[in-house]
Structure 1
Amino acid sequence: MEINLIEPFWLAVIGTSLFAFLLKILGHSVPKKWLSNPRILKINSLIPIALLSALVAVQSFTQDSRIVADQRMAGVGVAVLALILRAPFPVVVLSAAATSAALFHLN
């Protein structure tokens, strides 16, 4: 009988978790002088926008590692149009969701 104490998957999960925890702790030890630098402040304000944009792109335009054009693309288009028209955020989200759902059910 073979006993495998730690599967490679769980080793990767635990290792990644420890690495993320160490990065978080190291982030608290960065001197305030470095964080108040105007360049760093600008970069820190742009990182969440870049990450959210990448997440929306991946979730909207890919499926099984392939680029696809489906109802989600129309939903993102409606959301962009609503943002250009300066609609409130709930209107943007609801209009995009309604468009995607309507096109999904037409198929």
Structure 2
Amino acid sequence: MTLWIWILIACAISYLTKLAGYLVPAKWMKNQRMSRIAATMTIGLLASLTVVNTFSSGQQLVFDARICALLAAAVALLLRAPFLVVVIAGAAAAALLRLAGWG
């Protein structure tokens, strides 16, 4: 199969999944267990996307300035900094390391 067929299959699956979400009865969504599961899945998805974008470049595992940027943002989060400060801390750490020639 060509790449375009796989892309079209992925699009169809995404659309059908979204459509299935509209068909779920509202009573199910008011259940507290369902709310916890949905929140946990969101956190897990965000964490996995962050790890993939931090440690990979194409098909390769890389260690560059993005790791230090993530660590700087994590430290800012631990210090209870506002979200904008967290983003700026991560961006500044990556920029300084790339300026220094690492990553």
RMSD: 1.5
State yes or no: 1:50 paired with 2:55.
no
Q: Structure 1 pair 8/64, CA: closer, same or farther in 2 (3 Å)?
A: closer
Shift in Å at residue 60 of structure 1?
Answer: 1.0
1:3-82 alignment runs, 5 A limit: 8-82=2-76
In percent, how many aligned pairs have the same letter? Answer: 35
Shift in Å at residue 63 of structure 1?
Answer: 2.7
Partners of 2:5 and 2:91 in 1: CA distance: 38
* Structure of greater Rg: 1
Q: Deviations over 1:51-84 (max 9, x none)?
A: 1111111111223434332211111111010001
The one-letter amino acid of 1:18's match is: A
**Whose RCO is larger (CA < 8 A, sep 6+)?**
2
Partners of 1:41 and 1:63 in 2: CA distance: 34
Partners of 1:17 and 1:63 in 2: CA distance: 24
Shift in Å at residue 8 of structure 1?
Answer: 2.2
Can you give the 5+ residue segments of structure 2 that lack an aligned partner in the other structure?
none
TM-score for the superposition, normalised by structure 1: 0.84
Partners of 1:101 and 1:64 in 2: CA distance: 21
The one-letter amino acid of 1:49's match is: I
Partners of 1:82 and 1:42 in 2: CA distance: 27
SS of the residue corresponding to residue 36 of structure 2 reads helix
More divergent stretch after superposition (24-33 vs 84-93):
24-33
Q: How many residues align?
A: 101
Partners of 1:34 and 1:8 in 2: CA distance: 39
More divergent stretch after superposition (33-42 vs 79-88):
33-42
